Chain A
Amino acid sequence: MVGVVVVSHSAKIAEGVCEIAFQMAKAGQKIVSAGGTVDGGIGTDAVRICEAVKAADAGSGVVIMVDLGSAVMSAETALELLEYPLKGIVQIADAPIVEGTLIAVVQASLGSNLTEVLAAANETRHLHKK
């Protein structure tokens, strides 16, 4: 199953988004948060994201969900730090973090591959709320 990593400037946001997503997940599905800095501050950390990706991978790759600004750059830096076999099977979604994570987790739970999970997450950009 494709794993999902949630990256936010705030540890609370990242954990909260994971909490919501777990409600829709299958038992044992990998959803890992990587929010905030090591010392509990607001920010992002490419090394922590790297570790989260390793923890989220079950052999089928990982989709990373990000919030704003440095989250994107830290996630991209993390991709650069990854080595074989993870390099190349990790993708960053271009999607809103809450909706995107939820849909990615549901799609992954269906056994879809990395491309399908990423596409489903990215589709949430077009969701309307009213």
Chain B
Amino acid sequence: MSESLVAAFTAIYEAISRNKQMLTDLDAVIGDADHGVNIARGFEAAQSKVQELAPGTGIDIVLKTIGMALISKVGGASGPLYGTAFLWAGKAAHGITDFNEQTAVPIFEAAIDGIRQRGKAVRGEKTMLDALEPALEAFIHGVKQEKSLKECLNLAAEAAEDGVEYTKTIIATKGRASYLGERSIGHQDPGATSSYIILKALADFSQGERQE
């Protein structure tokens, strides 16, 4: 089980790496031009840490290991935010051995709750939450309709993509971009964008894994 989680995280790390420059460019417009570089460094450190874990390590420990690497290596605000998300996801995953669309719900909920509480943010403030909250809702909606994990992840990624588009239309009221006020309108939020990239990578990974 933990092997496929490590493989899924590798796919996330690769997607973040590929989009590093794009994320930093987005951040240069409305922030401090470090988002892509920061999270790529953090995800790279996390990636090498999880490779060192013994086969069969519990998914809670894998998630916690990722979280600890992110909080110490990212440097910017996305470090404590994504780091807390993975740490809290790890707590919620304690005792879960079978990761499926049902068991994924409390884990995703805990991750997003971590970001919400750490950032003291709510939806509509031009942050990661504008991608993540609609994604979670779409995921849960899919589960209720008895769709597979793969289908639920696709729904989540689509909702996150719409969320990123939505961030172009609103003023930032959290983080460095909030100093810009109305100047932030018309630009998509880098944090929401990286959240979408993570979910999209997860969805794509699940498609590939299930192709027999």
Residues of A within 8 A of B (CB): 37-38, 41-48, 69-70, 73-74, 76-77, 80
**At the interface, yes or no: B118 with Cβ under 8 Å from chain A?**
yes
Cα(A48)–Cα(B79), bound, Å: 13
Inside 8 A of A44's CB, which chain B residues have their CB?
Answer: 75, 79-80
Residues of B within 8 A of A (CB): 34, 38, 68, 71-77, 79-81, 83-84, 87, 118-119, 175-176
A74 touches B71 (CB 8 A): yes
Cα(A48)–Cα(B76), bound, Å: 14
A74 touches B80 (CB 8 A): yes
Q: Which of B73, B79, B84, B175 has the most CB of A within 10 A?
A: B79
B83 touches A43 (CB 8 A): no
How far does the Cβ of A106 sit from chain B's closest Cβ, in whole Å? Answer: 30
List, sorted by A's number, 27 A–B pairs whose CB atoms are closer than 8 Å.
Answer: A37-B73, A38-B73, A41-B75, A42-B75, A43-B38, A43-B75, A43-B76, A43-B79, A44-B75, A45-B73, A45-B75, A46-B71, A47-B68, A47-B72, A48-B72, A69-B77, A70-B76, A70-B77, A70-B79, A70-B80, A73-B77, A73-B80, A74-B80, A76-B80, A77-B80, A80-B84, A80-B87
Interface SS, B side: helix
Assuming the contacts A69-B176, A77-B84, asked whether A46 and B118 have C-beta atoms less than 8 A apart, the reply is: no
Inside 8 A of A37's CB, which chain B residues have their CB?
Answer: 73, 75
